[in-house]
Amino acid sequence: MESSLAVQVSQDDVASACDQATSLVPAAANDAEPRRLQFWESEHTRPDFEPGGDAAPGLVAATENYLGACMRHPYLPVAEIRARQLARIRELVEMAYRDIPVYRNKYDAAGFKPEHLRDYDDIQKIPVITKPELVAAFPDQCVNKKYNPEDLFPTRSSGSSGQTLLIRVDYDAVITDTIQGVRQFAMQSGGNYKPEDLLAHVYTVPWWFDSIGGKYPTAFISNLIPPARVAQHLRYLGPKILSLYPSSLDALMPHVDEFRDTLNVAVTHSEYSSRTARAEWSRQLGVPVLDEYSSEEATRIALEMPNGVYHVCDDTVHLDVLDPATLQLQADGQSGIAVITNLLNEAMPFIRYVQGDYITRPAKPAASDINWSQIASIDGRLNDAFVNRDGRKVPAGSILDATYRWMFDCNLHLAQFEIVQRGVDLVEARVVLGADTPLQRLNGSVAHLEDLLALCLEHPVRVQAHALEFFPPKVGKRRPIRREMA
């Protein structure tokens, strides 16, 4: 990792950011309405959507009440963090059993009752629930009827698995999530995040709110805008924090001179990226590039801190890593499937939900003054893992690392790439070549990629390489490593 990533974040750093934020007050009634910092791909395609609005005063009051405790939570004793998790999961399980039919039916079928949750280890007794189950249950069987549907925030999980899950989020969960976002960027910036600092999201739609009573302002840039124009918008805005997909950041690299001077940190999310890639982007930007592991179902799951360690947001989610065959706790140091409980959303609970990712807990956690639990690696989505002849799944992270080795070993500059498994021993490499990489070099390097992938899959692999002029525009996340076979 670059030296810029080696900064330690401490409780004192975050407490300082907290102190700066405790004087939040709503803008005076006669203040002019702030101009929304939104840059859409065109006025013609701009949706009829406005974030924030009348909810802003409630957000300010909640921030005054909660931000201090939010900032202190990562440093509580482990026993207290776990006790709070257990208490919250009890509340959610009791509510789900009483009010949410899909959970009550599942728990009854498994012989599980809310009163079985006596201590922390009993969380493992809660049956897991899957995306297809919630898709089939939406909305009548999985959305809490005590909420007025018009008061809920709509979102959806990615359809990359072939199934799109509609999600409803209650107002309190959105408020808490927004405040926890302040903590996220305070921690990931090493405490260098002030109430006046601008955060720019290059994303599909704007964030829930434009600001917190005028503090912690955010800007939105549509991810459909070509990278050269995105860079121009960033130069105009001068953000301190940049949040975006890894593929979007990669596309911005030819234009870094336009916008890097104002940045303190860039945060990638939603797609897999390797530490190697983030270190290279950090070198070019001159600031740390850190990762956020998150999902629509769970919101923030884990944050990469400035020292490179991923910490689970233990007041946002409860995270288990399970053996995919037995659904029992996986041994530390071994890759398993992520199972999450969203601790915020009561309108549509996600309790012991199979997230669809492979992750690994550390065999020996790193020393840290942050007492949240840790993740050693995020190994990719289940459906992005390659499968070998014996049926063993090879995590997308391993395939991505082999791809970076291919580029490094063969001196390939690829502006964009996709590595797609078409058959058990057939892989397609679709690439957009950089200006300094001739087609002959790509063709001559295919055998080396075949060797690297054969080591991952443990049998020979044939690679078909195709050079494209460009990839078609895509709404939402790109999946550069994926499996498209039965």
Q: Indicate which CATH number applies to the domain containing 191.
A: 3.40.50.12780
Domain finish residue from 382, 409, 436: 382
Return the pLDDT at 263.
Answer: 98
Return the pLDDT at 196.
Answer: 97
- pLDDT (tens digit per residue) in 229-244: 999 999 999 999 999 9
Higher-pLDDT residue of 282 and 387 is 282
408 pLDDT band, cuts 50/70/90, is: confident
Q: Are residues 328 and 231 in the same domain?
A: yes
Task: Give bridge partners of residue 375 from the DSSP assignment.
Answer: 310
Return the pLDDT at 21.
Answer: 40
Name the phi and psi angles at 420, rounded to 5.
-120, 125
Count of structural domains, the chain? 2
Task: Show the tokens assigned to 221.
Answer: 């840039």
Q: Indicate which CATH number applies to the domain containing 394.
A: 3.30.300.30
Domain finish residue from 382, 404, 434: 382
Q: Are residues 249 and 301 in the same domain?
A: yes
Residues 339, 344, 347: CA angle, nearest 5 degrees: 100
Interatomic CA distance for residues 357 and 395, integer angstroms: 9
Q: How far is CA 216 from each of CA 213, 263, 482, rounded to the nearest angstrom?
A: 8, 15, 37
Higher-pLDDT residue of 100 and 391 is 100
- pLDDT (tens digit per residue) in 41-88: 878 777 666 555 445 678 999 999 999 999 999 999 999 999 999 999
Q: Yes or no: say if 281 and 250 are a contact pair by the CB < 8 Å rule.
A: yes
Return the pLDDT at 434.
Answer: 82
Q: Are residues 146 and 64 in the same domain?
A: yes
Q: Are residues 367 and 307 in the same domain?
A: yes
Q: Are residues 322 and 464 in the same domain?
A: no
Q: Are residues 258 and 299 in the same domain?
A: yes
Return the pLDDT at 3.
Answer: 28
Q: Please name the residues in contact with 167: beta carbons below 8 A apart, sequence gap of 6 or more.
A: 154, 155, 156, 157, 296, 297, 348
Q: Are residues 441 and 469 in the same domain?
A: yes
Return the pLDDT at 48.
Answer: 66
For the CA atoms of 392, 275, 318, 143, what is the dihedral angle to 10 degrees? Answer: -80
Return the pLDDT at 32.
Answer: 40
Question: Average pLDDT for residues 293-300, to the nearest whole number?
Answer: 93
> Which range marks the domain in which residue 439 is found?
385-483
- Rounded mean pLDDT of the chain? 87
Listed range (25-34, 61-70, 84-93, 327-336) with the worst mean pLDDT:
25-34
Q: Are residues 414 and 363 in the same domain?
A: no
The rounded percent of the chain whose pLDDT value lies above 70 is: 86
- pLDDT (tens digit per residue) in 179-228: 999 999 999 999 999 999 999 999 878 888 999 999 999 999 988 788 88
Q: Yes or no: say if 399 and 481 are a contact pair by the CB < 8 Å rule.
A: yes
Q: Are residues 356 and 266 in the same domain?
A: yes
Residue 106 has pLDDT above 70, yes or no: yes
Q: Are residues 375 and 422 in the same domain?
A: no
Domain finish residue from 366, 382, 398: 382
Q: Are residues 201 and 346 in the same domain?
A: yes
Q: How many CB atoms within 10 Å of residue 286?
A: 12
Residue 140 has pLDDT above 60, yes or no: yes
Q: What is the pTM of this model?
A: 0.79
Higher-pLDDT residue of 123 and 384 is 123
| Alpha-carbon torsion (110, 124, 381, 157), positive or negative | positive
Question: Average pLDDT for residues 104-122, to the nearest whole number?
Answer: 98
Give the burial class of 66: count Cβ atoms within 10 A of its Cβ; 0-12 exposed, 13-18 middle, 19 or more buried.
middle
Q: Are residues 44 and 149 in the same domain?
A: yes
